[in-house]
Amino acid sequence: MIKPDYRGHGRSDGSDESPTRTIDYSIDVMNLIAGLSHIEDADTGNIFLYGHSMGGEIGLRILTVNQTLKGATLWAALTEPFPENTLYFVRKRSREEADRLQIKIDKVISPEEYNLISPLNYMDSIHAPILVHHGTDDESVPFKWSLAFREFMDNSGVDGRVPPSGVKRSAA
């Protein structure tokens, strides 16, 4: 198993201050996947992705552009469109901080461009099966996000399942 350490997190250098940091993290993970070919005995034809919370959003973005992945499991993934996927959490801490972040976002991305960033707009390019897990009592990522995502996946023809009412089941 290989796990990224996002810029500005853990022991990684860099900053996590960019208003588009999850795009930067997605690029880093795609480079990590590409670098697996340099690891002796790595089975590069059998790569699966796991993403939790923000990592679920990153995983979803990667699934839209990487056609070599065999599947993914997303746990309490951030599946709201940009920038709500980020602003929601900042707003929970501080409305003023969220307002400042919105200003930073709007300096680099116009509201008309928000849809270009959301992986939800590229679901038709996902060919790997996705298994989605989310607890009904999650106090961080709203469970209703995964319910809406399940409906979105069903309407997009993506092979995936979100367990109804928080009951875990495996994809067929």
Fold of 21-166: Rossmann fold (3.40.50)
The whole-number pLDDT of residue 164 equals 43
The whole-number pLDDT of residue 159 equals 65
pLDDT digits (tens, 9 = 90+) for 110-162: 999 998 988 988 988 888 999 999 999 999 999 999 999 988 888 877 766 44
Q: Where are the domains of the chain?
A: 21-166
Task: For residues 126 and 158, give the distance between their C-alpha atoms in angstroms, rounded to a whole number.
Answer: 7
Residue 9 CA, distance from chain mean position? 16
Residue 80 Ramachandran class (φ > 0 left, ψ -120 to 50 alpha, else beta): beta
The token pair at 136 is 């009904």
Task: For residues 67 and 161, give the distance between their C-alpha atoms in angstroms, rounded to a whole number.
Answer: 19
Residues 88, 104, 10, 117, CA torsion sign: positive
Quick check: 16 pLDDT over 90? no
**Top-confidence residue, 96 or 158:** 96
What mean pLDDT do residues 17-38 have? Answer: 90
Task: For residues 99 and 121, give the distance between their C-alpha atoms in angstroms, rounded to a whole number.
Answer: 25
The whole-number pLDDT of residue 93 equals 94
* Average of per-residue pLDDT values in the chain: 87
- Where does 42-136 show beta strands of DSSP type E? 48-52, 71-75, 130-133
Which amino acid is present at 12? S
